[in-house]
Chain A
Amino acid sequence: MKITIVDYGMGNIKSIIGALSYLEVEEITVSNKLSELVSADKLILPGVGAFPMAMDNIIKLNIDKYLKDIVILGKKPILGICLGMQLMTDSSSEDLFTNGLGFIKGSVSNFRESNLKIPHMGFNQVNINNNSKLYKGLNNLSDFYFVHSFRMNSNVNINQSMCNYNGEFIASYEKDNIAGVQFHPELSQTNGLKLLNNFIKYF
C-alpha cells in the first residue's frame, strides 16, 4: 500500500505521516509530482490555513488539473482532511469568493452566529450517516478533533455525516472514491486511527 500526501505547501503533515506509519502503511510519500500521485494507491489532501491561499498554491503548481484527471477520471481514492476536505468542494466565501476543485457539490462559509467562539476547536460528536464506510466499527456520536473557522454545507446527498456547533454542518462526506473529513483523524486518538484505517481498507 502506497499513500501519497499531496504537498501544496500548507498543513502540518508530520502527524498524518505518524498516524499512517502507526497503521503500518508500507510506503508514505509527500509530493506534488504527477508521477508520484499517479503511482500512489491512495491520496490524502491535507491542509491547514486559508482557502484562497491554498487554491492559489494548488493552481500555481498545476495540481488542480492533474488531480482532477487522477481523481475524477482515474477514480483514485482520496481523503481530504480539514482544509483539504473543503478544497474539493465548489467554492468558499472565506475572505473573498474562491472557486474550489469542484469534485464535490457543496460550499464553504463562515459560522454566522455572533457570540459563538471561533475557531470551533476541540472534540465534537459526529452524527454518523448509515451508509458510511469511514466510520465502520465506530459508534454513532463518536468524538473527533475539530479546529476550523469555516464550515461546509451541501444540498445534495454526498453521504454526509453531520456535526453540530450551534447549527449543523458537514463533518464528513463520502462519494464513490472521494472522502473528506472536516476534523483531524490524525489528532483524534483511537477514533481517528480507526477512521484512517477504514479509509485504507474500504476506499
Chain B
Amino acid sequence: MPRYLAGRLAQVILVLLGVTIATFALLHLVPGNPARTLLGVHATPHEVAVLDREWGLARPLPVQYAGYLGRLLHGNLGTSIYYQVPVATLIAHALPVTLAMLGIGALFGIIAAVPLALLAATRPGRPADHAVRVLPLVGLGMPPFWVGFVLLLLFALTLRIFPAGGYGTTPAQHLASLILPGLTVAAVTTPILVRSLRLALVGALGSDFVTAATAKGLPRSRVLLRHGLRNALIPAVSVLAVNLGYLLGGTVVIENVFGLPGIGNLLLTGIFNRDFDIVQSVTLLYAVIVVLINLAADVGYATLDPRVVLGR
C-alpha cells in the first residue's frame, strides 16, 4: 500500500503540475491587457506600462509561469483586484460553504437513491421497477439550475419554508439555506446513483452467492443488504467517482441560483469582474479537489473490495 500511494502521489503531482500550466495558459489567452482592463479605457499608456512592469507582464511566458508556480508553492494565490484582499482569504471563506452544500447534497442523494434502487431491483418487471428506471431519464435531462428554480419557486417563494437565497449569519440559518441547494445537488446525483446502483443490485441479486445465502435460510433483509447491497456498492461507487467532475461543475450554477457564497459563485464573480487571480486560483482549486477525491476514491475502493490489489 505505501508503495502504491507513493506511486500515485507522484502521478498526482504531475497532473497537478499540468493543471497549473493549463490554468496559467488559459488565462493568458485572454485578449486584452489585464492592466488596461483594471485601469479602464481612459488609462494612459504610461499608467498601463507602469502596472505592466509591476506585474511583470512584459517578461517571457515561461518566466511568468515560473513566478506563478513559485507563488503558488508559497501559498500565495494572488490578490483580488476587485475586493483588494488575498484570494486565499476569499477561498477560505467560500470553500466551506461549497463543501457543506456538497455534503448535504450527497447525503440526500444517497438517502433517495438506495431505497429506490432496492425497490426496483427486488421487483423486476413490475411498475415500481419501470418507474425507477424512467426517473433518471427525466432527471438527467433537467438542467440543475432549473431544478433549483422549481425548488425556489415552490418552497421559498410560495410556501416560504426556506430562505430564497443567501447564506445567513448563524449556523442555523446556514443549514436552512443549504437545504434547497442540497436538494438540487441531490437532483443531479440521484439519477446517476439510482441507475448504477440498480444495475449493480440486479447483478448482485442474481448472483450465485445470493442464491446460496438464501438457501442458508438467512433473513431476506440480511441477504438484500449485507450480501446484495454490499456487493453492489462496489461498481456503484466507481461510477460515482468517475462522474465526480461533472457533479462538482454543477455546483457553480447551483450556487448562482441560490446566491450561495461558495467557490462556484466566487468563480463567476471573478469572471464577471475579469478578476484574473480569482479565476485562476479557483479553477486550480477545483482541479485539485477532483484529483484528490479521485485518489481517495481509489484507496476507498480497495477497502470496499478485498479482491482489489493496489499497485502494479
**Bind each other:** no
Chain A residues with a Cβ under 8 A of chain B? none
